[in-house]
């Protein structure tokens, strides 16, 4: 209740933001293996121990830095529902293409995709906090489309969501070709042929 | 032409094999960032300089080690063609599931997928030597299926191959669910619904 009470919390929050921003800056500037906790601390103007007080590893810092970019860290994903499943999915996939085209988002997400390969626990966390919210929102939208007779009710929706999303990740992660809205539209058109009632 | 002439070449080849095997062993035993050129040299019983004489980086060693596992490094991929596209693709996708289930193959491939995120030149090499041969072979098989009237001739085959393959990579790389032949079959069934003449 003293006037000075909020200061440490605010100072902590300022340091936290500075550390996450420094991590994002360095990931964009250097190749990821060259980004160290020391470099992040130095760029953020804090001591290395400040980072280790809040995060156990570089991967943990990167995860929170990515979450700061990823819809402000919200795990609430709601898809548009105009009644036209194809049009709604097109909006969502174009947003995904735009995210991948943002260098700051893309370099942080590549770093995160690197870290999870070696760390199944982190992969589980990424699945729960990054991938599942979007995939589940798409699944919810697919269920509505099933009720509206636009999607075959016999379809396994867990497979359906990967049929729609996986080609985008595949193209971006493995750099198999240009990552464009035209590509997203082609994928969606094919996926819709697979998913519609027949 | 002297009797001793072949020895250095054979010794070199033995060292090369020992280095690549040591790299694969260590990638399976440790988390990938902990695998160093020093550790590979020590495990292979060679000097660090021997490795640096042949490879510029750990990523380059890992690439060659993976290529040694990956169909013996052959870039010749030929798909079965029994006349039944669905049956032929099922054979190929089940083989992919089996590869991902092999811990030695999977850990090396995860390491390679890590390295390429930071290195577009290496990604290009992986695309050319690992991914494209398989994807092109599938494309060739798709063309035959188009001629046989099993696949819609209006389909963009570059998108079709990613529709078939990407869900497998996505599930494996991002650990979104169990990587089984049943999943591969579900993906293939949906992809075939998208690709058949309509």
pLDDT tens per residue, range B13-68: 999 999 999 999 999 999 898 999 999 999 999 999 999 999 999 999 999 999 99
Q: What residue in B sits closest to A32 (Cα-Cα)?
A: B118
Smallest Cβ–Cβ distance between B118 and the set A33, A162, A163 belongs to A33
Interface test with B, best of A162, A177, A186, A198 (most B CBs within 10 A): A162
A73-195 and A8-54 share a CATH fold: no
From the CA of B190, how many Å to the nearest CA of chain A?
Answer: 5
**What class has domain A73-195?**
mainly alpha
The pLDDT of residue A111: 95
Instruction: From chain B, pick out residues whose CB is under 8 angstroms from the CB of A173.
Output: 113, 117, 169, 173
Please tell me if residue A160 touches chain B, with a CB cutoff of 8 Å: yes
pLDDT tens-digit map of B110-133:
999 999 988 889 999 999 999 999
SS3 sequence of chain B:
CCCCCHHHHHHHHHHHHHHHHHHHHHHHHCCHHHCCHHHHHHHHCCCHHHHHHHCCCHHHHHHHHHHHHCHHHCCCCCCCCCCCHHHHHHHHHHHHHHHHHCHHHHHHHHHHHHHHHCCHHHHHHHHHHHHHHHHHHHHHHHHHHHHCCCCCCCCCHHHHHHHHHHHHHHHHHCCCCCCCHHHHHHHHHHHHHHHCCC
Q: Where are the domains of chain A?
A: 8-54, 73-195
ipTM exceeds 0.95: no
- A163, B116: Cβ pair inside 8 Å? no
Cβ neighbours for A173, distance < 8 A, ≥ 6 positions apart: A110, A113, B113, B117, B169, B173
Residue A195 pLDDT: 97
CATH 3.40.50.2000, applies to B8-54: no
pLDDT tens string B53-102? 999 999 999 999 999 988 654 556 778 999 999 999 999 999 999 999 99
Q: Determine the distance in angstroms separating the CA of B165 from the nearest CA of chain A, rounded to an integer.
A: 8
Model pLDDT for residues A56-69, shown as the tens digit of each residue? 999 999 999 999 98
């Amino acid at each position: 209740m003293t006037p000075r009470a909020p200061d440490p919390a605010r100072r902590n929050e300022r340091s936290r933001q500075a550390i996450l921003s420094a991590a994002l800056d360095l990931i964009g500037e250097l190749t990821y293996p060259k980004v160290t906790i020391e470099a992040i601390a130095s760029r953020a103007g804090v001591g290395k121990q400040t980072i280790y007080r809040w995060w156990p590893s570089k991967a943990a810092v990167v995860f929170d830095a990515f979450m700061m970019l990823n819809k402000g860290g919200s795990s609430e994903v709601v898809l548009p529902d105009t009644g036209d499943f194809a049009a709604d999915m097109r909006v969502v996939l174009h947003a995904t293409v735009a995210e991948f085209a943002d260098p700051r988002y893309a370099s942080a997400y590549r770093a995160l995709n690197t870290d999870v390969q070696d760390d199944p626990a982190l992969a589980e966390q990424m699945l729960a906090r990054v991938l599942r919210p979007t995939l589940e929102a798409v699944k919810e939208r697919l269920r509505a489309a099933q009720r509206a007779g636009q999607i075959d009710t016999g379809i396994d929706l867990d497979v359906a969501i990967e049929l729609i999303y996986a080609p985008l990740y595949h193209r971006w992660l493995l750099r198999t070709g240009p990552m464009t809205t035209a590509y997203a539209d082609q994928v969606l058109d094919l996926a819709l042929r697979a998913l519609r009632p027949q």
